Structure 1
Amino acid sequence: MRAGKVAGVQLIFNNWFLALVVLFAFAGLAGKALAVFAAVLWHEAAHAAAATVLGYRVREIELLPFGGVARIDRADTAGAASEIIMAAAGPLASLVLAAAVYLARAAYPAHALWLDFYYQVNITLAGFNLLPALPLDGGRILRALLALRWDWSEATATVAGFGKLLAVGLVAAAGVGLWRSSTVNLTFLVAAAWLFYAARAETATAGFRSMRILANKKAELTARGVMPTVHVTALASVRVSEVVRLFGPEQYYVVLVVDGDCRLRGALTETEVWEGWPERGFSSRIGDFL
């Protein structure tokens, strides 16, 4: 259900979220349910605010039964620094709110029970999201750091693997709970299913990131007529895969190809490199692209 726009961002209540609130209301826990999702909304709003400051457009924030998601245009093509800032903003906001609630407990002892609950909610939200596994915020931070030295697809596959391991761990924890107390922890099972599916989706789309980045650059250059450019100098004998590793998402690249005596043999735009690799392959020499 679309709940209107806040600062131009569409707020959506997932149907399953609404159903869960109704169930909690019948169980006499509607207040706690709304408190949890207020914390989630604060967390996701922090992601959205960081993205907006960095120049990205936030389309919508959707509240789900076990969390939320801020949908940000071009977020999957952000540079490492931008990705880290956007990912870290959510957990940081949750920790700030937890600190404020902790301080409020001393000032409002009559509400200590509710404040203790809200404190634990925000600490748990921050801690869980900081786990180094995709698609969680901690996983996005780790992937951005690994991508400074690794190929993006390789970094994604590694951190998505941690996400799948976390999903298996949650299923195992639910199994132990069933064995010890004969109760099923549905939260763990639903979270495990979501983690596993989302980790697979991250891996499946990682290979197309380079093409999305190039398409965005072409669109920006066409619209603005000018774009910051970075020059890379490479020996003609260097493999193209080593050159492509240097391409970042936030500037346009021009490769200056030189011979063994460092004399210029020619120049290649980033577009020419990407359009040439399907025919020549990443194991070819950059000089072959001239």
Structure 2
Amino acid sequence: MIKWRGIRWSIHPLFVIVMLASALTGYFAELLTLFIIVLVHELGHVIVARGFGWRIREVKLLPFGGVAEVEDAGGISAREDALVAIAGPLQNVWMGLLAWSLGALGIWDEDWGHYVAGANAMIALFNLLPIYPLDGGKLLQALLSYMFNYYRMLLITARISIALSIGMMTCAFLPLLMEGGGIQFNLLIVGTFLLMTNWTYHRHIPFLFYRFLTHRERMHDPEPELGRKVKPLIVNGKQSILSVAKLFSRDSYHLVYVIVPSASGLQVIPEGTIVEGCLSGRDPHRAVSELFG
């Protein structure tokens, strides 16, 4: 592990396994090339993220990219998340085109230029699969953020990622159906890693949601900023405070209109009151109407 510009950089054990396998089979040049491609891919993410002011604690390099540990992750906008996610594959685009051009011009061996270009294309396309924590999974999250509330976005992302991870593992066994085919162990290992990652991600959704609420509490102002997108929510006073919080969207400020049968008309409360009700240490499953008492 090394620390550079305030970020810890480490190699994931899965990458270590790939390195050892490559060294034992004599593919050292290919291994070094893969490492450089992955490093530049991840630097693309880091540079754009730092440009948005993100605080990145650690980056773990994987054979197909990396996983970044970001502070205040619950407060990142969908737009920034999408731009940072796409920055990695874009590095593979220019690296692939450069390698292909160097090979075509005779500066590099043509076969080697095609190999490096193909490796970049493979890493870029693989990363664009809609599986968390791949770049495509983060793009999926950003898209779902415009369609669903934050809690549902987490659930849908986890379920799609688990399903596709199982599909990837299944594809690893398809060659067995063909004459002379064998199990694709690389695909099986990566699919297993993604399945385990997303199974853990699914189990941690309550924690991730409360992290989102904690950020909303820190960023809450008594009055919403002028020009800020406001999304009204109409709820029943008998609903639990937590169930109302689960309706909050990622990039919107909410005014909550509460229908209380014993009162005339609607009672209006800002989202900060709901967030405080969830994080105050009292039962978040109590009725919203109790906030008026």
* TM-score computed with the length of structure 1 as normaliser: 0.79
- SS of 1:55's partner is coil
Answer yes or no: is 1:199 the counterpart of 2:198: yes
- Counterpart residue number, 1:157: 155
Indicate how the Cα distance of structure 1 residues 235 and 163 shifts in structure 2: closer, same or farther if over 3 A, else same.
closer
- Counterpart residue number, 2:273: 272
8 Å Cα contact 1:164-1:199 kept in structure 2 = yes
Measure, in 2, the Cα distance between the counterparts of 1:69 and 1:112.
33
8 Å Cα contact 2:131-2:165 kept in structure 1 = no
Q: 1:107 aligned to 101, 105, 108, which one?
A: 105
Q: Which amino acid aligns with 2:184?
A: N
Measure, in 1, the Cα distance between the counterparts of 2:90 and 2:57.
22
How far is 1:281 from its partner? Answer: 4.7
Q: Which amino acid aligns with 1:61?
A: V
Q: Which has the higher contact order (CA 8 A, sep 6+)?
A: 2
* Number of corresponding residues: 280
How far is 1:92 from its partner? Answer: 2.0
- Counterpart residue number, 2:126: 128
Measure, in 2, the Cα distance between the counterparts of 1:67 and 1:227.
41
Report Cα offsets for 1:192-213 as digits up to 9, x if no partner. 1011112222222233334213
8 Å Cα contact 2:99-2:116 kept in structure 1 = yes
Answer yes or no: is 1:213 the counterpart of 2:215: no
- SS of 2:89's partner is helix
How far is 1:83 from its partner? Answer: 1.5
Measure, in 2, the Cα distance between the counterparts of 1:202 and 1:235.
30
- Counterpart residue number, 1:95: 93
How far is 1:50 from its partner? Answer: 1.7
Measure, in 1, the Cα distance between the counterparts of 2:30 and 2:147.
44
The answer to which of 101-110 and 271-280 deviates more is 271-280
Indicate how the Cα distance of structure 1 residues 149 and 243 shifts in structure 2: closer, same or farther if over 3 A, else same.
farther
- SS of 1:245's partner is coil
* TM-score computed with the length of structure 2 as normaliser: 0.78
Indicate how the Cα distance of structure 1 residues 102 and 228 shifts in structure 2: closer, same or farther if over 3 A, else same.
farther
How far is 1:258 from its partner? Answer: 10
Identity %: 24
Report Cα offsets for 1:181-235 as digits up to 9, x if no partner. 35332111111101111222222223333421332344567xxx99964566666
The answer to which of 92-101 and 8-17 deviates more is 8-17
Measure, in 1, the Cα distance between the counterparts of 2:9 and 2:291.
48
Unaligned runs of 5+ in 2: none
Measure, in 2, the Cα distance between the counterparts of 1:32 and 1:207.
42
